[in-house]
């Protein structure tokens, strides 16, 4: 029997490439060949970040196609990027598949597309290829998207996404309460971006109907009510390939591993890990307030400050800060986050609550301080603080998160051991779900069997 050959295609953002790469690593462990399609821009970034550490002999073949934008265009403008992808990529993807399929022994047997790329699912269907959607965020977010038309019909929001009033709703009992003004499409950029996003969600909802599987990086225990509400979404998380093999992570920035040696020198459960994912930006004043809060916490801290987090505006401040706080505090541009969160010296995670970070923190039993920035991060914060009760919110009512609130909440979180106890319970259930016989493990095994039967 010939080998299954899966084409995997993520939305071109760091928080999408990483979990789909993680999934690809899992697939190759099961003897499946993977062709991973990035945009040209993302591909170049990953190659640059890898430097000399290119993983050789990996079964994942990296290829790329254009994203429809020009070199200097702003790819953090999600509206513009989403529109450009839709214009150019479906045709390019089709051409790529035709090219690969010229080799009869190497034909694509299945496409696993990011659930945010409805057009890729349509290309797959049009070409008569088996189709799977991978959802890189919470199942609850996907349910919110599936509920878009209902929310418009019942007047909760206008057709352009504007909420009728600032209130909270629950899509089903026990699912997180969502504030209408914090619906993902309403806090992703300007009005134009919201409109583009609403249209994209509608198209994706339609396209997702052709997917034979909808899988996601979550667990039944993390989102019990969501999976009861939408049993067609199957959790296979937490994705764990990175724990087992020399794997390709798909980082956009080079990992600074020196922080692992630094962590080795810190007492157990003492370090505050501070990271805001790949998108969050800070204004000048807020960045300085955070720095002072960390400094005054009197705890060791590891802080990821990406080169673009503040458009280089705080360079001198940060340089002096680093000199002043070293060796108690360490600043890096990009950390090996999963390894950091698994390190015994970590006490808590000050996070923007991106879904990957949320899964990684909970899988390692680390309590959170929540500082959501945009998109689905507010839903994830609700999970962390109100449903799992493994973290605390920072107070953003005054428009700025103050140093006093940061130091106060760090103390509160670390002094109340109930947070740690609940976090360890959630970790245990997450780990159990991917063990032999666990619920995610069963879903994943069924999925692999199906892929193997598709050849
Ligand atoms: N990440 C990392 N090193 C860092 C910061 C983040 O490897 O210094 C990874 C993190 O482990 C996660 C991803 O980047 O897998 C960020 O995804 P998330 O959904 O948390 O946030 P986003 O970047 O999408 O806002």
- Residue 89 to residues 64, 84, 95, 382: CA-CA distances in angstroms? 10, 8, 10, 35
199/298 same-domain check: no
What do you get for the CA distance between the two ends of the chain, in Å?
Answer: 8
**Which residues have C-beta within 8 Å of that of residue 425, sequence separation ≥ 6?**
none
Ligand 1 binding pocket includes 279 (Cβ within 6 Å): yes
Q: Does residue 55 carry a pLDDT above 70?
A: no
- Smallest CA-to-CA distance from 120 within 177, 234, 36, 225 is with 36
Both tokens assigned to 293: 């809060």
268/151 same-domain check: no
3-state helix, strand, coil in the chain (%, to 5): 45, 15, 40
Looking at residue 445, what is its pLDDT? 98
Which atom of ligand 1 is the closest one to the Cα of 14?
23
Orientation angle between helical segments 355-363 and 14-29, nearest 10 degrees: 50
Phi, psi of 27 (to 5 degrees): -65, -45
**Which residues have C-beta within 8 Å of that of residue 440, sequence separation ≥ 6?**
219, 220, 235, 236, 237, 238, 433, 434
The alpha carbons of the chain give a radius of gyration, in whole angstroms, of 21
Ligand 1 pocket test, candidate residues 10, 254, 277, 377, most atoms within 8 A of CB: 277
- Element housing 63 (H / E): strand 60-65
Ligand 1 binding pocket includes 357 (Cβ within 6 Å): yes
- The answer to whether the beta carbons of residues 339 and 364 sit under 8 Å apart is no
Ligand 1 binding pocket includes 371 (Cβ within 6 Å): no
191/289 same-domain check: no
d(CA 442, CA 455): 21
d(CA 175, CA 224): 8
133/26 same-domain check: yes
Q: Does residue 1 carry a pLDDT above 70?
A: no
Q: Does residue 125 carry a pLDDT above 50?
A: yes
Ligand 1 binding pocket includes 359 (Cβ within 6 Å): no
319/389 same-domain check: yes
| DSSP code at position 226 | H
- In this prediction the pTM is 0.97
Ligand 1 binding pocket includes 18 (Cβ within 6 Å): yes
Whose Cα sits closest to atom 5 in ligand 1? 277
Domains contained in the chain, number: 2
Q: How confident is the model at residue 9 (pLDDT cuts 50, 70, 90)?
A: very high
Which atom of ligand 1 is the closest one to the Cα of 280?
25
User: Considering the domain boundaries, does residue 78 fall inside one?
Assistant: yes
Both tokens assigned to 285: 């004043």
Q: Does residue 449 carry a pLDDT above 90?
A: yes
With b for 16 or more beta-carbon neighbours within 10 A and e for fewer, the 386-419 pattern comes to ebbebbbbbeeeeeebbbebbbbbbeebbeeeeb
pLDDT tens for each residue of 247-259: 788 999 999 999 9
Looking at residue 54, what is its pLDDT? 56
Ligand 1 pocket test, candidate residues 357, 362, 375, 383, most atoms within 8 A of CB: 357
Q: How many CA atoms lie within 13 A of 26 on its CB side?
A: 23
Looking at residue 310, what is its pLDDT? 79
Looking up tokens 């022994």 gives: 105
Looking up tokens 């990027």 gives: 81
| Lateral strand order in the sheet of 271-275 | 329-332, 301-304, 271-275, 346-351, 368-370, 391-393
| DSSP code at position 3 | P
264/237 same-domain check: no
Phi, psi of 134 (to 5 degrees): -105, 125
How many whole angstroms from its chain centre is CA 203?
21
Whose Cα sits closest to atom 7 in ligand 1? 337
Phi, psi of 348 (to 5 degrees): -160, 165
Whose Cα sits closest to atom 6 in ligand 1? 277
Q: Does residue 404 carry a pLDDT above 70?
A: yes
381/263 same-domain check: yes
Ligand 1 pocket test, candidate residues 341, 349, 353, 354, most atoms within 8 A of CB: 354
Looking up tokens 């039993």 gives: 365
390/293 same-domain check: yes
User: Considering the domain boundaries, does residue 420 fall inside one?
Assistant: no
Sign (positive or negative) of CA dihedral 192, 382, 377, 414:
positive
Q: Does residue 323 carry a pLDDT above 90?
A: yes
Whose Cα sits closest to atom 13 in ligand 1? 15
Which CATH number do you get for residue 65?
3.40.50.2000
329/443 same-domain check: no
Rounded to the nearest whole angstrom, what is the distance from the C-alpha of residue 18 to the centroid of ligand 1? Answer: 8
Q: How confident is the model at residue 386 (pLDDT cuts 50, 70, 90)?
A: very high
Q: In this prediction, what percent of the chain has a pLDDT beyond 70?
A: 97
Q: How confident is the model at residue 239 (pLDDT cuts 50, 70, 90)?
A: very high
Which atom of ligand 1 is the closest one to the Cα of 375?
25
User: Considering the domain boundaries, does residue 340 fall inside one?
Assistant: yes
pLDDT tens for each residue of 336-358: 999 999 999 999 999 999 999 99
Better-predicted residue by pLDDT, 89 or 314:
89
Looking at residue 56, what is its pLDDT? 46
Looking at residue 240, what is its pLDDT? 84
Rounded to the nearest whole angstrom, what is the distance from the C-alpha of residue 22 to the centroid of ligand 1? Answer: 13
Average pLDDT of the segment spanning 391-406 = 96
User: Considering the domain boundaries, does residue 226 fall inside one?
Assistant: yes
| DSSP code at position 4 | P
Sign (positive or negative) of CA dihedral 113, 236, 450, 108:
positive
213/348 same-domain check: no
pLDDT tens for each residue of 181-207: 999 999 988 999 999 999 999 999 999
Rounded to the nearest whole angstrom, what is the distance from the C-alpha of residue 105 to the centroid of ligand 1? Answer: 37
Average pLDDT of the segment spanning 353-374 = 97
Rounded to the nearest whole angstrom, what is the distance from the C-alpha of residue 331 to the centroid of ligand 1? Answer: 16
User: Considering the domain boundaries, does residue 333 fall inside one?
Assistant: yes
User: Considering the domain boundaries, does residue 284 fall inside one?
Assistant: yes
d(CA 305, CA 113): 31
Ligand 1 pocket test, candidate residues 18, 76, 358, 359, most atoms within 8 A of CB: 18
65/151 same-domain check: yes
81/200 same-domain check: yes
User: Considering the domain boundaries, does residue 391 fall inside one?
Assistant: yes
Q: SS in 3 state form for 112-180?
A: EEECCCHHHHHHHHHCCCEEEEEECCCHHHHHHHHCHHHHHHCCCECCCCCECCCCEECCCCCCCCEEH
Which domain does 156 fall in, by range? 5-246+435-453
């Amino acid at each position: 029997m010939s080998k299954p050959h899966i084409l995997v295609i993520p939305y071109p953002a760091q928080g999408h490439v990483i979990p789909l790469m993680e999934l690809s690593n899992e697939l190759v462990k099961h003897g499946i060949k993977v062709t991973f399609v990035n945009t040209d821009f993302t591909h170049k970034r990953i190659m640059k970040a890898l430097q000399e550490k290119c993983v050789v002999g990996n079964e994942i073949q990296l290829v790329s196609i254009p994203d429809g934008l020009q070199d200097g265009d702003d790819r953090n403008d999600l509206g513009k990027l989403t529109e450009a992808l839709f214009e150019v990529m479906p045709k390019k993807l089709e051409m790529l598949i035709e090219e690969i399929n010229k080799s009869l022994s190497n034909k694509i047997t299945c496409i696993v597309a990011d659930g945010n790329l409805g057009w890729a699912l349509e290309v797959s269907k049009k070409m008569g290829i088996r189709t799977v959607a991978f959802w890189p965020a919470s199942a609850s977010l996907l349910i919110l998207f599936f509920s878009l038309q209902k929310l418009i019909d019942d007047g909760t929001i206008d057709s352009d996404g504007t909420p009728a009033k600032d209130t909270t709703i629950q899509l089903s009992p026990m699912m997180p309460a969502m504030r209408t003004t914090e619906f993902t499409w309403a806090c992703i950029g300007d009005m134009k971006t919201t409109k583009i996003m609403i249209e994209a969600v509608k198209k994706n909802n339609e396209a997702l109907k052709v997917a034979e599987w909808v899988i996601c990086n979550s667990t039944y225990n993390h989102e019990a009510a969501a999976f009861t509400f939408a049993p067609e979404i199957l959790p296979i998380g937490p994705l764990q390939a990175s724990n087992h093999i020399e794997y390709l992570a798909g980082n956009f920035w080079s990992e600074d591993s020196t922080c692992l040696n630094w962590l080795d020198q810190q007492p157990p459960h003492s370090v505050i890990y501070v990271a805001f994912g790949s998108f969050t930006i800070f204004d000048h004043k807020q960045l300085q307030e955070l720095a002072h809060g960390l400094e005054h916490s009197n705890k060791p801290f590891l802080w990821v400050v990406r080169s673009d987090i503040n458009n280089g505006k705080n360079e001198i401040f940060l340089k002096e800060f680093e000199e002043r706080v070293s060796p108690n505090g360490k600043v890096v541009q990009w950390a090996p986050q999963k390894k950091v969160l698994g390190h015994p010296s970590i006490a808590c995670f000050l996070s923007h609550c991106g879904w990957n970070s949320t899964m990684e923190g909970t899988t390692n039993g680390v309590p959170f301080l929540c500082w959501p920035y945009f998109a689905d991060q507010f839903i994830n914060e609700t999970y962390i603080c109100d449903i799992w009760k493994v973290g605390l919110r920072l107070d953003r009512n005054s428009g700025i998160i103050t140093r006093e609130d940061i130091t106060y909440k760090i103390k509160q979180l670390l002094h109340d051991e109930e947070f740690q106890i609940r976090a360890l319970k959630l970790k245990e259930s997450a780990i159990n779900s991917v063990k032999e016989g666990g619920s995610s493990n069963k879903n994943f095994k069924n999925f692999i069997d199906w892929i193997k039967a598709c050849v």
